[in-house]
Amino acid sequence: MAKKASSSSRATDGPRLVWTRKDLLGLDDLGPEEIVHILDTAESFKEVSTRSIKKVPLLRGKVVALLFFEASTRTRMSFELAASRLSADTVQFTSSGSSVAKGETTLDTVRNIEAMGVDIFVIRHHQSGACHMLSRNVKASIVNAGDGQHEHPTQALLDIFTIRQRLKRVEGLKVAIVGDIAHSRVARSNILGLKKLGAEVVVVGPPTLVPATIEKMGCTISHNLDDVLGHVDVINMLRIQFERLGGNLFPSIREYSRLYGMNAQRLEQCKPNVLIMHPGPINRGVEITSEVADGPNSCILQQVTNGLAIRMAVLYLVSQV
């Protein structure tokens, strides 16, 4: 097969893509070459984290506001570290104890913080489309750090980056995403990004957690995890959200774990080099057992490490527009 513009090699030969986007709202908007450009840019930032002085002056004098209207540990810390390694100043915000608790609208909150002179907003919000609404109304860059059940673009970028790193390619791979697809922004961004780079995606879960029309996004559906295990190169296990139990979306954690949990027996049915991923936080023993999560096929901590480079790349790129 002729060598295509390989996503695993740095795109240093040929004309570099000129980044034109002020915002990163989702992977839905991006072309494949833009996604590869972010991955390649992240590649060059990876090395910064290995230095004894982990800092470059690319965003010196810029202000990055981290507005997490919804709780987050790793994404917020990852963005914060990414911003500080680029020498940006950061301001923080959590919605409890802020004026949001007093009834201020999201738009007013962001407009007020923008008035203090912010260059980039990193937004996590419980409402789908919140970043789109903000990008229409503020001048600063908006980076989506997860909006409701819509997209989580940097998570998908770091997942794809990790796949590329471990399996040396993305195109032609078969990727299973398992779990609560209906409510997962990680699933949506992964489906979009992986499809754009030429991978095949199958989503796995019961029909109450996997809407039939998700096929319109270019993936296929399976309700039986055991059917797909032997055919895929990557398995991305989503966290099951216990709060969904009340909505009768599945009968019990116990049953879910038996039908859709990843364990050692299931791992044996997989290809030997299958890559096991999880966006975290993990419910050990529910969607994934410890021996799989901590085993050689797992890349869960590598995902977290790579997240930093991806977020440095994204902050850097949007700041250049």
Partner 1 sequence: MNDILIRNGRVIDPASGLDECADVAIAKGRISRVGKAQAKAKHVIDAHGLVVCPGLIDLHVHCREPGHEEEETIATASAAAVAGGFTTILAMPNTHPPQDNETSIHYVLQRAREAALARVLPVGCITKGQEGKNLAELGLMTQAGAVAFTDDGLGVASASLMQRALQYSGMLSMPLMQHCQDPDLMTGVMNSGAVAVRLGLGGIAASGEQIMLRRDLELVERTGGHYHVQHVSSAGSVELLRQARQKGLDVSAEATPHHLLLTEAACSTYDPNYKMNPPLRSAADVDALRQGVLDGTIDCLATDHAPHSKEEKELEFALAPFGIIGLDCAVGLYAKALIETQLMDWPLMIARMTTGPAKVICNSKPELGRLTVGGIADVTIIDPQADWTVDVSAFASRARNCPYDGWRLPARAVVTIVDGQVKHSLLT
Residues that bind partner 1 (CB under 8 A): 28, 105-107, 125, 127-130, 132-133, 137, 147-151, 182, 185, 188, 211, 213-214, 216-217
Tell me how far, at minimum, the Cβ of 26 lies from partner 1, in Å. 10
Give whole-number Cα distances, 296 to 62, 293, 300, in Å: 40, 9, 10
Please report how close the Cβ of residue 28 comes to partner 1 at its closest, in angstroms. 7
Q: Which amino acid, residue 40?
A: D
Q: Which long-range contacts (CB under 8 A, 24 or more apart) does 90-94 make?
A: 90/63, 90/64, 90/65, 90/66, 91/63, 91/64, 91/65, 91/66, 91/116, 91/118, 92/65, 92/66, 93/65, 93/66, 93/67, 93/68, 94/68
Tokens 């969607």 correspond to 287
Q: What's the min distance (Å) between Cβ of 127 and partner 1? A: 4
For the chain, the distance separating the N- and C-terminal CA atoms, rounded to the nearest angstrom, is 37
Looking at the Cβ atoms of 81 and 129, the one nearer to partner 1 is 129
Q: Which is nearer to partner 1, 129 or 198 (CB)?
A: 129
Q: Which is nearer to partner 1, 95 or 306 (CB)?
A: 95
Question: Can you give the C-alpha Rg of the chain in angstroms?
Answer: 19
Q: How far is the CB of 137 from partner 1 (least distance, A)?
A: 7
Structural tokens at position 88: 């940006």
Nearer to partner 1, 81 or 217 (CB): 217
Question: Considering the complex, what minimum distance in angstroms separates the CB of residue 106 from partner 1?
Answer: 6
CA dist 105 to 68, 101, 111, 133, 134, Å? 14, 10, 10, 12, 11
Cis? peptide before 206, omega within 30° of 0: no
Cβ nearer to partner 1, comparing 32 with 148: 148
Tokens in use for 157?
């970028």
Q: Cβ closer to partner 1: 127 or 222?
A: 127
Q: Which is nearer to partner 1, 96 or 213 (CB)?
A: 213
Nearest distance from residue 72's CB to partner 1, in Å? 17
Least distance (Å) between residue 44 CB and partner 1: 32
